[in-house]
Every structure is written in structure tokens, then in C-alpha cells.
Amino acid sequence: MHEYKTVNPYFEAAWEGEKQFDNRVDDRPEMPKVGDYLWLREYNECGFPCGFSVTKLREGGKPDPYSGRSIIAKVTYILDSHASLAPKYFSMGFQVIERRGHDSC
């Protein structure tokens, strides 16, 4: 399973079923393949998940930037060399298998 942190509004669009693809930098030892599973975790760069008051702290007392919502998806398509893609980028289509966590921000 390939784990990716995913920021909004992209995570929310995938959660709602409006977005069924993702563009990523090929910077990992193993790129996802068709049939692999993704673990997309909602990540908020500001450190405050979904605007909630922060109740969960990481080690060192810093807010946990992960909201607790995540998506398990199956890779259905990979586009890794095309004139429309920047070097070292790829696009993948996916099908949501499961949504985990609370329903909305």
C-alpha cells in the first residue's frame, strides 16, 4: 500500500467522489502500479485539522496535521510519460474502496 498525504481541496474532492485521479512526483523507490492500493491521508499544512480545535498532539507537543480522515483506493490507471506531464511527474486514476474517519470538515 502506498501512503500519501493529501491536502485540501484535493482530499475533499476525492472524499466526495468528484476527483478520481492524482498527480504526483515520482520521488519514491517504488511507483504505484495498476492494482496497487493507496492510503490517502487528509493533511493540513497549517497543523489544525479541518479547522477543529486541536485535541491531538504529536511528540514534542506539536499539533498533528493529519485530520484522521483517510481514503483507501485502488489504482486503476497510470500515465507516466506524456507531453502534458512535467518531468518526474505521473498521474494515476483510482477507485475509492473505503472512506475512514468522520464525514466532513
Residue 31 domain flag? yes
pLDDT in tens, 55-80: 566 667 777 788 889 999 999 999 99
Residue 105 domain flag? no
Three-state SS letters, the chain: CEEEEECCCHHHHHHCCCCCEEEEECCCCCCCCCCCEEEEEEECCCCCHHHCCCCCECHHHCECCEEEEEEEEEEEEEECCCCCCCCCEEEEEEEEEEEECCCCC
Residue 60 domain flag? yes
Total domain count for the chain? Answer: 1
pTM given for the model: 0.81
Residue 15 domain flag? yes
pLDDT in tens, 27-66: 999 999 999 999 999 998 665 545 544 456 666 777 778 8
Structural domain containing residue 29: 2-100
CATH code of the domain in which 86 resides: 2.30.130.30
